[in-house]
Amino acid sequence: MKKTLTTTLGSLAVIAALALSGCASDNPGPVENTASTKAPIPTVATPLQSQAPVSNEQSVASAKAAYSEYLEVLTTIAGNGGKDETPLRGIAPGLINGGRASLMFNSLDKTGSHTTGQIKYKVLDDKVSTFKPISVGDDVPFGQVDMSLCVDKSDFHTIGPNGKDSGKVGPQQMLYTAQVIWYGGRWAVSKDWLTDDKVTACNAS
């Protein structure tokens, strides 16, 4: 089902918006570069993320690895001010090039802002199904994993144009739904949104 702009997560753009909701600006913002802006961005899939789906257990393990990589690359790009989203091309191709991740990156770049810290998560539930490509290609058994997550953004901060931390606004741990698929010879994140289109607190411990 299609999500609306305000409720669709798309690479955690909503998390960034929540972090900024207490600031004068509507978008993330930093001014000084931090150590995170110099961090290398991983772009090579691990063997687990490149392993073709053969069972429920293997698919879930690969989906978790892909989602962890996605968050690591997402936060690194945001820490660099959102200036180059291309490292997500193979990891979450549907969330860039004007997708939901692009909205966050564009806001950061436009305002000269950046983020600091990392985003953590805990898988609460998972479901494995057959991935059915929309255009070409055969159906892939065990090729789609839908996960219910508790995402912890307590260490993820937006720094405003004047170097001011936006502070903590709203729940620091929120319920999310993510979808990871076998696509292009590796596991990729295809969807990432707030569960039930609303902010719901959860426990990631």
d(CA 69, CA 109): 22
Question: Tokens for 201?
Answer: 């607190």
d(CA 205, CA 105): 29
Q: Write the single-letter amino acid at 86.
A: T
The overall pTM is greater than 0.85: no
Give the DSSP per-residue string, 147-172: EEEEEE-TT-EEE-TTS-B----S-S
* Tens-binned pLDDT, residue by residue, of the chain (205 aa): 333 322 323 334 344 433 332 222 222 222 222 333 334 455 556 778 889 999 999 999 999 999 999 999 999 999 999 999 999 988 999 889 888 788 889 999 998 999 999 999 999 999 999 999 887 788 999 999 999 999 999 999 989 988 888 888 889 999 999 999 999 899 999 999 899 889 999 999 8
